[in-house]
Amino acid sequence: MSSCIVWFRHDLRLADNPALAAAVQTGLPIVPVFILDDATPGVRGPGAASRWWLHHSLAALDADLRKRGSRLVLRRGPAETVLADLVAASGATAVHWNRLYEIAARERDARIKQALAERGIVATSHKANLLFEPWEVKTGAGDPFKVFTPFWRACRQLPPPERPLPAPDRLAAPAAWPASDALEAWRLLPRTPDWAGGLRDSWNPGEASAHRRLEDFVDDTLARYRDERDLPARAGTSRLSPHLAFGELSPRQVWHAATAREPSAATEKFLAEVGWREFCNNLIFHFGNLAENNFRADFDAFPWAAEDAKVEAWRRGRTGYPIVDAGMRELWTTGWMHNRVRMIVASFLAKDLMVDWRVGERWFWDTLVDADPANNPAGWQWVAGSGADAQPYFRIFNPVLQGEKFDPDGAYVRHWVPEVARLPAQAVHKPWTARSQVDPAYPLPIVDHAQARDRALAAFRSLKQEP
């Protein structure tokens, strides 16, 4: 008996899943599949923190499928080979999946479509992970946007996103299930040592948890989002990013949940942040591998410093600048970092230390539970100055002033950097001024910010003078 394969990727949900909905409409038995493709060149495998999340998200998806009379088939290997084997094993006559936008994934998907078509099998891709497809948003001249504000303005002039689709009540099962890997055999969870305690305390992966977090945000936080989103000591952000990265929520669900409330400046600001996610995906679709290549080619000649002990101090949260160290410790412990602090720590690495932004991007990729192939590199390039719509080269975050502005009473740094907890507010972001009240184990600044700023500005100016 024939069947229909649904290939899950960054869409680990049952509600508002167009590929799954289209498969249900065929009336065929459905074989839900997830392939851990860590072998196709150019397709980036998940980092350590993301592997932890993936394990639990797949377990939650399988449980949700079993409630509907189905299950999740797991396979590991190159997707082209694995999917061909699954088609043969299941007798599938159709395959559905939701689109990805990185160039390597798109090229792989095109090869799979062609190979399946040669066997008489229809493979259909669907729009599920963006509000607007990259080819739907163009300048008046028909070109892709390189600047966010006009991009988002053009998005807002398009028809609003469609209503989300409901989850199916039941899924028809095949007469016989293809063989599946055991999730535990993939060894996605850390073992020796088990460093994931902070992740377990901070997060609950899965579609149901994602919806609870969305409801809580809209009900309790959205109204103050515009005023508190930059304050890392406040619960002023949505914290939806990992759920969106793994597709436990769709952007349409987020959009409609937010816009169901009365229009406000806070809602518009939040939607613009959803729009930044759209913009980043627009960039990787039109301009290629942002994780490896400078968007601005002139940065190929930038005189980045070599990695040294200062980079390791940055990773460990021991730079001597409390706001930087707090962010890096929050990241290591929870797999997440407040967005304002992400910009501060990125500026410190790329401009105070003048270390290649790709070093930081790779560290974030390995340690963030919301590591995203578009947002992650686009954000790093924006801070470094090498990206699209990047901040001006002369904008170099002062870690002391940033801390004093966005964490004025020091609540955030006191939590993550207890070595400075005894300091009064006027000294907590510059502990070297009250050294006797600081835990002696806490380091002095590894660089002088004023001197580092001058060095970085000189390097940026020389770059701009290159022919």
User: Which DSSP category does 305 fall into?
Assistant: B
The CATH class of 130-161+207-287 is mainly alpha
The per-residue pLDDT for 462 is 84
The per-residue pLDDT for 124 is 98
Separation of alpha carbons 197 and 195, rounded Å = 6
Q: Is 17 a catalytic residue?
A: no
Catalytic residue, candidates 336, 380, 382, 416: 380
The CATH class of 297-461 is mainly alpha
What does the pLDDT look like over 431-457, one tens digit per residue?
999 999 999 999 999 999 999 999 999
What does the pLDDT look like over 261-270, one tens digit per residue?
889 999 999 9
Helix 375-384 and helix 357-367: axis angle, to 10°?
150
The per-residue pLDDT for 464 is 66
User: Which DSSP category does 299 fall into?
Assistant: G
Separation of alpha carbons 117 and 124, rounded Å = 11
Separation of alpha carbons 102 and 88, rounded Å = 28
The per-residue pLDDT for 465 is 55
H or E segment to which residue 463 belongs: helix 449-464
Q: Is 98 a catalytic residue?
A: no
Catalytic residue, candidates 177, 186, 195, 304: 304
The per-residue pLDDT for 466 is 47
Q: Is 304 a catalytic residue?
A: yes
pTM, entire model: 0.96
CATH superfamily of 3-123: HUPs (3.40.50.620)
What's the burial of 335, exposed, middle or buried (CB within 10 Å: 0-12/13-18/19+)?
A: buried
Alpha helices per DSSP H over 265-423: 265-287, 309-316, 322-334, 339-347, 357-367, 375-384, 399-406, 411-416
Catalytic residue, candidates 357, 363, 365, 382: 357
Catalytic residue, candidates 107, 136, 268, 273: 273
Q: Is 203 a catalytic residue?
A: no
Matching fold, domains 3-123 and 297-461: no
Residues in a beta bridge with 34: 8, 74
Separation of alpha carbons 265 and 197, rounded Å = 37
Per DSSP, the residues of 220-257 read IIGGGHHHHTT-TTS--S---HHHHHTTSS-HHHHHHH
Task: Please confirm whether the linkage preceding 18 is cis (ω < 30° from 0).
Answer: no
Angle 456-459-463 from CA coordinates, rounded to 5°: 140
The per-residue pLDDT for 391 is 72
Q: Which residues of the chain have pLDDT under 50?
A: 466-467
Q: Is 339 a catalytic residue?
A: yes
Separation of alpha carbons 153 and 139, rounded Å = 11
Rg (CA), the chain: 23
Q: Is 281 a catalytic residue?
A: no
Domain residue ranges of the chain, discontinuous segments joined by +: 3-123, 130-161+207-287, 297-461
